[in-house]
Amino acid sequence: QLQLHETGPGLVKPSETLSLTCNVSGGSININNYFWGWVRQPPGKGLEWIGNIYYSGSTYYNPSLKSRLTISLDTPKNQFSLKLTSVTASDSGVYYCTRYMGSSGGDDCWGQGTLVTVSS
Amino acid sequence: DIQMTQSPSSLSASVGDRVSITCRASETVGTYLNWYQQKAGKAPKLLISAGSSLQGGVPSRFSGSGSGTDFTLTISSLQPEDFATYYCQQSYSSRRTFGQGTKVEIK
């Protein structure tokens, strides 16, 4: 059974870079028709789509984050990553990695989420 | 970007009630509309994809309907484990967007 697990620092200083990794187990990320992505949730608020990457490496980003965001695949390690530069307190929240099938499928597999706090 | 608006933002209901949540898109999304359930402290769970396709293991009391810009999630008989927050999401555009959520509380 596919499992996703986010790892990364729980505390990041303002203006620095947030780096998170999603480790995928129980299946390969290098499979045709699968997309891998990130969703975040500020404390007490709703879900925000961050971006996705296709198994081929094509990326799709939230326009509001695009200038600061990079999502990449590491196929040999079976993981994918998020880097968000110049973070501020508004980037704090729980970050989830997800998987969906087909360009229009729903996110049918989620990691447990990791809490990131941006603070000095 | 496509904006998704859910209503109501919250509702109070009793066990056994029929509950409906609506989701409106700012432009057509065809049937590319997904519904998620999120319980406190947990990751969201996909309930329905493509407007009305129930995911495996999801109770049949959940149903989805609609196309174009207007969609509805219905719970036919609310159960104690259904108290949660529900989100719609459009997957018509490669730049996906979520509704703001509807919190279903115990009356």
The DSSP annotation for A47-73 comes to -EEEEEEETTS-EEE-TTTGGGEEEEE
Instruction: Give the mutation candidate from B42, B46, B52 for the A interface (greatest A CB count, under 10 A).
Output: B46
Chain A residue with the nearest C-alpha to that of B6 = A46
In angstroms, the CA B79 to CA B74 distance is 13
What are the beta bridge partners of residue B73?
A: B21, B64
**Phi, psi for residue A48 in degrees, rounded to 5:** -125, 125
Q: What pLDDT, in 10s, does the model give residues A28-81? A: 999 999 999 999 999 999 999 999 999 999 999 999 999 999 999 999 999 999
Q: What pLDDT, in 10s, does the model give residues B8-23? A: 999 999 999 999 999 9
pLDDT at A102: 86
Can you list the residues of chain B whose pLDDT is less than 50?
none
pLDDT at A107: 94
Contacts of A103 in chain B (CB under 8 A): 91, 94
pLDDT at A103: 78
